[in-house]
Structure 1
Amino acid sequence: MDVRSLFAAQQYAALRPATEPEPGAEGAGPRLASAVRDFAATLDEAESMATSAMTGDADPHALVQALAQSELAVETVVTLRNKVVEAYQELLRMPV
């Protein structure tokens, strides 16, 4: 066995734990799930407010405020989606 390959294997084994995630460190999964739940709650609130306004049970000012919040949430999600698609297309353009 070549000494250089043995040395490389030992170095790789020593550095391997540095590439593993730290215990207790959260990734993007829980934060993304929380953001999706918040987005759905915002849309549900706007929908229920619109239904209440149609039956005459809601204040028009509260309806406008709920619709503005839902519009902002949708614009934010669309912008995020566009950034993800743009990043994906950029990866596809990279030479292999």
Structure 2
Amino acid sequence: MDSAALSAVQSYSASRAATQPGKASGDSMFGRMAMDFAQTLAQGEQVAQQSMTGDADPHALVQALAQTELAVETAVTVRNKVVEAYQEILRMPV
């Protein structure tokens, strides 16, 4: 094996770790956002159930519904931006 090929193999093996997928943990920003989104929806659902049984005041219900609506609108906006970016990438000439 010549030195250029050996250098290429060493470079590939050094950069290979950077291309490996990370652990599926909630440590990433996207993971934390997804967990916060799910938690907000669950909290809104819990307050809605409590208000139906008479355990929560109407102000808490309105506040929980507003937070849930904001979370859903944010998620939809992020999704739309991701789809828009993907479509823009598809339109790029190769």
* TM-score, structure 1 normalization: 0.72
Distance 2:81 2:24 in 1: 18
Match of 2:18 in 1: 21
Distance 1:33 1:85 in 2: 19
- What is the identity percentage for the equivalent residue pairs of Structure 1 and Structure 2? 56
Match of 1:48 in 2: 46
Match of 1:77 in 2: 75
Match of 1:60 in 2: 58
- Equivalent residue pairs, number: 89
Amino acid at match of 1:75: E
Where do 5+ consecutive residues of structure 2 fail to align?
Answer: none
Where do 5+ consecutive residues of structure 1 fail to align?
Answer: none
Distance 2:74 2:23 in 1: 18
**What do residues 10-52 of structure 1 show as CA deviations (whole Å, max 9, x unaligned)?**
2312322034229xxx948433344323212211211121122
Return the index of the structure with the highest Cα Rg: 1
RMSD, aligned α-carbons:
2.7
Amino acid at match of 1:61: H
The DSSP-based 3-state class of the residue aligned with 2:15 is: helix
Distance 2:37 2:22 in 1: 20
**What do residues 49-68 of structure 1 show as CA deviations (whole Å, max 9, x unaligned)?**
11222232201121122112
Amino acid at match of 2:90: L
Match of 1:10 in 2: 6
